[in-house]
Amino acid sequence: MDRAYEGDETRQLALDLDFEPVVPPKKKRTNPWEYDREIYKRRNEVERLFRRLKGFRRIFTRYDKLDALFLGFIVFVLIFDALLSVNTP
């Protein structure tokens, strides 16, 4: 989540689903809450991973009809991405 989803209803839904909302409160909040700043900073890594996954048209358009094939290709792309990041200077 980012600041756009910091409303009380959204935070309460996340808490009801046993998620830990790690979103900073807006600056104008009268009673701001504490959040884990380090985890919030790392959400960028997840967003970049999804951007790289979308680069593979087969995943982006979901050509595979079977869940097992779709998941298998995602695993393949993640391995491919990991190998590229190891060999990139």
Contact 6, 27 (CB under 8 A): no
Contact 15, 21 (CB under 8 A): yes
Percent of all residues in the chain with a pLDDT value above 70, rounded to a whole number = 94
Neighbours of 23 (CB within 10 A): 19
Is 70 exceeded by the pLDDT of residue 88? no
Sign of CA pseudo-dihedral 45, 51, 53, 55 = negative
pLDDT in tens, 28-85: 888 888 888 888 888 888 888 888 888 887 777 777 788 888 888 889 888 988 888 7
Separation CA 53–CA 40 (nearest Å): 21
